[in-house]
Amino acid sequence: MYISVKKLLSEGKIAQDVTLKGWVRTFRSNRFIALNDGSTIENVQVVVDFENTSEELLKRITTGAAVEIHGSVVESQGKGQSIEVQASNVIVLGDSNPETYPIQPKKHSFEFLREHAHLRVRTNVFGAIMRVRSVLSFAIHDYFQRNGFFYVHTPIITGSDAEGAGEMFRVTTLDAKNPPLTEEGKVDYKKDFFGRETNLTVSGQLEGETFAMALGKIYTFGPTFRAENSNTSRHLAEFWMIEPEVAFLDLDGNMDLAEDFIKYVLKYTLERCREDIEFLNTRFLEEEKTKPQNERSTMSLIEKLEFVINNNFKRVSYTEAIDILKNSNHNKKKKFQYIIDEWGADLQSEHERYLVEKHFECPVILYDYPAKIKAFYMRLNEDGKTVRAMDILFPGIGEIVGGSQREERYDVLIEKIKSVGIEEKDLWWYLDLRKFGSAVHSGFGLGFERLVLFATGMSNIRDVIPFPRTPQNAEF
């Protein structure tokens, strides 16, 4: 009977006949195959009857080879496993030349593995990360579907710049070498495929809002593209974002939703990916040991996850945060690259991480930011200078969520749109929401890879997405 390694290790019975298919991780002493089929981080030990196996076949059982094993389950003689498989027949399905196979049974650097992203998922650490990523994305759907949210597929190709940051990838079928020109000599996008300028979406929010104002509670979960030239360990040019949007919800409700949601998905994943997360926990602790004492995490990965699941996030206004930062020794001793000297300054990730890691030592929700440093759609407060924005900041990550209560008042929104230089005609449909049945509503965006970073204890965002897209890099 064909059986996965996961099922075999949890349900296999002594003397049961089994067929396994997988890849050889190691082959020791011409006898012991450590076999992995991806279903679990665990390998199963397969014992080859080498006296009755031809030399030629033994030579083909190499690291990376795909094999089919027929055998029976026996009690394990070795340590660590209760059962193993005594092979009666080994068939090599696909050879792997040990001289040229890049993934050797030894420690490879993450840089090396990034260059072999098509094979890195065959290692323990990337197998674990990608299984956690899969469970985490299911947990996200589970949370929303249980709570009455509808999943909306917002467009990938759009004509609007939701964040107003202008960091977009153009979508065009025009001939780059010889585009049609207008009389003024500019590229004539009327002749382009869509008859207008289009780009890959930076956020599904604006379209999401239209659905929230009909279905009540919705979420998107899809790819998002930003052409920001930031070569950091927290930025990707292509990443996945989850964006819930809820009618009749104010900023406080939005914070409650975000906090409850994050706790649920992390708890769900910790419970269902115990083996993978335990493996990643050990890796995390080993990496911490290589750091100077004062930079080491005081908690293990599992402790960090449990801490977030079991403790309230600290809610702090931007104004309070600026006071804390301004009066911090860090600021006074000029340890920040960007010194905080006045209200209105945009927070850099060094400030966010100071608040979370040094000052509050827990996840922080910052709210009521200066209107000037936030997007046009956020609801203006009575003070006329702050908006109902919220960012959630996480240890080791910085910003993980960005959201807000939306400006639902037509007059206020139109003024704002004009003042930031957006053409009213480009957002006519968004403005319509404020003309017909407008209501208080709120939502947020969670960067999925930043959440996977946190859940796996990894430190570079390129290692938690299968094939990272970053400046100067779109291999695979």
403: contact with ligand 4AD by CB under 6 A: yes
Asked if 399 touches ligand 4AD (CB under 6 A), the answer is yes
* Interior angle at CA 389, CA 385 and CA 391, nearest 5: 135
Residue ranges in 156-299 assigned as alpha helix (H): 205-215, 251-272, 274-289
Tell me, residue by residue from 143 to 172, as one string, x for binding to ligand 4AD by CB under 6 A and - for no binding.
Answer: -------------------xx---------
235 binds, among ligand 4AD, Mg ion, none (CB under 5 to 8 A by kind): ligand 4AD
Q: Whose Cβ is closer to Mg ion: residue 120's or residue 234's? A: 234
Query: How far apart are the C-alpha atoms of 428 and 413, rounded to whole Å?
Result: 12
Greatest Cα pair distance in the chain = 86
Interacting residues with Mg ion (CB under 5 A)? 402
Shortest distance, CB of residue 455 to ligand 4AD, whole angstroms? 14
The residue among 64, 65, 3, 53 whose CA lies nearest residue 29 is 53
Q: How far is the CB of 447 from ligand 4AD (least distance, A)?
A: 2
Q: Provide the 8-state DSSP code for 234.
A: S
CB of 145 to ligand 4AD, least distance (A): 19
Q: How many angstroms separate the Cα of 416 from the Cα of each of 160, 411, 421, 439? A: 16, 9, 9, 18
d(CA 288, CA 307): 18
Question: Using CA atoms, how far apart are residues 385 and 465, in angstroms rounded to an integer?
Answer: 38
Binder to ligand 4AD among 64, 395, 445, 468 (CB under 6 A)? Answer: 445
Q: How far is the CB of 391 from Mg ion (least distance, A)?
A: 6
Contact between 64 and ligand 4AD per CB under 6 A: no
Nearest to 277 by CA among 44, 23, 41: 41
Binding residue for ligand 4AD (CB under 6 A) from 241, 246, 322, 427? Answer: 241
Q: Looking at 127, 363, 443, 457, which residue binds ligand 4AD (CB under 6 A)?
A: 443
The listed partner (Mg ion, ligand 4AD, none) that binds 236, CB under 5 to 8 Å by sort, is ligand 4AD
445 binds, among ligand 4AD, Mg ion, none (CB under 5 to 8 A by kind): ligand 4AD
Q: CA-to-CA distance for 316 and 422, rounded, in angstroms?
A: 31
Binding-site residue total for ligand 4AD (CB under 6 A)? 23
Nearest CA-CA partner of 203 in 160, 248, 261, 170: 160
Q: Which is nearer to ligand 4AD, 27 or 221 (CB)?
A: 221
For residues 161 and 6, give the distance between their C-alpha atoms in angstroms, rounded to a whole number: 46
The least distance separating ligand 4AD from the CB of residue 357, rounded to whole angstroms, comes to 17
Q: Estimate the crossing angle of helix 410-419 against helix 428-435, to 10 degrees.
A: 160
Nearer to ligand 4AD by Cβ, of 283 and 462: the residue is 462
When the beta carbons of 20 and 458 are compared against ligand 4AD, the nearer one is 458
Beta bridge partners of 74: 84
Interacting residues with ligand 4AD between 220 and 239 (CB under 6 A): 226, 228, 235-236, 239
DSSP per position, 258-282? HHHHHHHHHHHHHHHTHHHHHHHHH
27/430 with CB nearer ligand 4AD: 430
CB nearer ligand 4AD, residue 8 or residue 392? 392
Q: Comparing C-alpha atoms, which of 124, 355, 154, 119 is closest to residue 240?
A: 154
Using the minimum distance from each CB to Mg ion, give the nearer residue, 22 or 402.
Answer: 402
- What is the dihedral sign for C-alpha 161, 166, 170, 174? positive
157-158, strands of its sheet edge to edge:
157-158, 198-200, 170-171
46 DSSP β-pair partners: 33, 85
Q: Which among 65-73, 150-158, 249-257, 394-402 is the span making contact with ligand 4AD, rule CB under 6 A?
A: 394-402
As a whole number of angstroms, the distance between CA 12 and CA 18 comes to: 9
The nearest distance, CB 410 to ligand 4AD, in angstroms, is: 20
Backbone angles phi, psi at 447, to 5 degrees: -75, 110
Residue nearest Mg ion (C-beta atom)? 402
**Does residue 287 contact residue 460 with C-beta atoms inside 8 Å?**
no
In whole angstroms, the minimum distance from the beta carbon of 75 to Mg ion comes to 56
- The binding track of 165-204 with respect to ligand 4AD, each residue x by CB under 6 A or -, is --------------------------------------x-
Among 22, 395, 447, 468, binds ligand 4AD (CB under 6 A): 447
Q: Report the partner that residue 238 touches, choosing among Mg ion, ligand 4AD, none (CB closer than 5 to 8 A by kind).
A: none
Q: What six digits make up the tokens of 231?
A: 């070569």
Site for ligand 4AD in 329-368 (CB under 6 A): none
**Contact positions toward ligand 4AD, by CB under 6 A?**
162-163, 203, 205, 226, 228, 235-236, 239, 241, 243, 399-404, 443-445, 447, 449-450
